[in-house]
Structures are given as structure tokens and as C-alpha cells.
Amino acid sequence: MTLKIEAFTTPRRSVMAIEAWFMDDSNEDQRLPHHRNPKELVTLDYLADLGVLYWKLNSESYENDSELRKIREARGYDYMDLLDLCPEKVSNYEEKLKNFFTEHIHQDEEIRYCLEGSGYFDVRDKDDRWIRIWMKPGDLIVLPAGIYHRFTLDTGNYIKLMRLFVGEPVWTPYNRPQEEHPGLTHKVSGRSKLMINPRVSGNTTKRSGLSSSRRFRLEVKNTTEEKVVVSLVTNSSSFSFSSSSPVVLLGGSLWR
């Protein structure tokens, strides 16, 4: 039995879209834009192909935002905290910036929502090129597990972020290189992708007939350049489904 499951809230495509571009190779101040000459902008669709998801929300009403609540419920983001990052509010500011700007991957998604200020998330594309994503108030992005990335402030030197997690927060970075790290990577279209602890909320599987209270795991059965086939197994039944967005679903096994 093969199902195509639309599991998550669809990211918003808007004229107020986030700005992103391919970076130059300059070693100048990391807080500068680092555009190529001429500029090479990156579309939301290109980011989505990398597994990077985006929503535009109203950051001024984040405490009572029904759209944010729906996203959190649909994707299982049941833990959040706030981070003010600037020299005046962080005692080890320079050390933190250095750590954030070291290229690394995580075993889980990285979900960040900009409430105030601005900053840059840099991510690697499939050809190992840096893409700079400019986060401003109202921008919410999800970086998939296993994508090489880093973060820096821009010249404004301030950002206030909401950090979202599935369950207890995990911040463990795995600095590059990690291609040969046992159990962490999986080859997809010739490139290594992080493969552990996919986070899928039980209540996102209602359309497959599963209760949100049931335990389940995801097991990757087959991958191609176009799609990934995943088996979803519960304590009483199993389903298979395919997705054309493999970076969202890639994983080893996870018992929720």
C-alpha cells in the first residue's frame, strides 16, 4: 500500500519573501552581505529543494499568533525559547559568534523565527556552494537535519530569535567534516546527508489513519534523485509512503 501524505502545514510563498543569494569567496567581515558580482539571487523553490522551509509571519503578535500555533502543532514544535544576541546582552558574545559561524550540521532540524533585528544563515547547496539567507523580523525558517550551515549577525549587531524544538532542545553541533561519521550520514544523489533522529510529530499523521498517541518510527526503504520511499511502522500496523521532498523525511529510525 503506497500513500502520498501531505503531513505538514504548507510554507507560505509571499511577495514579502526572505532574501537569499549565492555568496562570494571574500574573507572580508562576515557581517557584510557578500554578494557575488553580479548578484545571484536564490529563490524559495531552490531553498525548498534543499529542504529549507520558510514562512512569513507577524512577529509583533508572536505570543498570540494563530498561524504560528498551527505550524507548531502540525510539526510537533512543543518547546521554544527566546535568544537575544548582541554584545550588550551576551557575556561571551565573541565566543558564541565564533561557534555559530563554524560550519556544522545537527542531527535534528534547526528552526528559527526572527522577532527583532536581523542576521544571516548560510547553507551549503548540493554543489557545496554557500547560500546566504537574510533573516529579518517575521521570517521563520527550518533547516533540515544534515545540511551544513552557519550563522552570523549582520552589521546591525542584534537579533532576537525564537528557537523551536521537538521535545527537549538539542544543540549538539557536528563540525565539518562529518561525511565518514558512523551512523550520521546517508548517500543521496551522490552527497552525504545526515540521517539520524528524524523528528515527525504523531499528530501530523492523521491522514494515514494513525492516532497521535501511537508510537511510530520511520525507516528509509529506497531513495532516488526524485523521491524517497519511507516505511512508517507502529506497534499494530505499518504503512509506506513516498515524498518528492526527501530532505524533509530522511532519517534512520526513531521511536517517538
For 3-58, the pLDDT digits (tens) are 333 334 455 544 457 999 999 999 999 999 999 999 999 999 999 999 999 999 99
106 annotated ligand binder: yes
Q: Average pLDDT, whole number, for the chain?
A: 74
Give whole-number Cα distances, 177 to 194, 197, 220, in Å.
12, 19, 24
**CB within 8 A of 87, min separation 6: which ones?**
93, 157
> What local confidence, expressed as pLDDT, does residue 163 receive?
96
**What DSSP designation does 23 have?**
B
Residue 29: how many other CB atoms lie within 10 Å:
10
Is 185 inside any structural domain?
Answer: no
All 3 cell numbers of residue 254? 526513531
Domain around 226:
198-249
**40 assigned to some structural domain:** yes
Do the annotations mark residue 149 as ligand-binding?
yes
**Does 184 fall in a domain?**
no
Q: Is 189 helix (H, G, I), strand (E, B) or coil?
A: coil
My answer on whether 233 and 157 are in the same domain is no
Query: What's the number of domains the chain is made of?
Result: 2
Q: Is 181 annotated as a binding residue?
A: no
What digits encode the pLDDT tens for the residues 110-150?
Answer: 999 999 999 999 999 999 999 999 999 999 999 999 899 99
Look up the CATH number of the domain holding residue 128. Answer: 2.60.120.10
Q: Looking at the structure, tell me whether residues 165 and 207 fall in a common domain.
A: no
CA 131 remoteness from chain centre? 14
> Is the domain of 106 the same as that of 229?
no
Q: Is residue 192 over pLDDT 70?
A: no
CA dihedral 5, 197, 100, 152 (to 10 degrees): 0
104 annotated ligand-binding residue: yes
State pLDDT tens for residues 70-125.
999 999 999 999 999 999 998 889 888 888 999 999 888 999 999 999 999 999 99
Tell whether 79 and 142 lie within a shared domain: yes
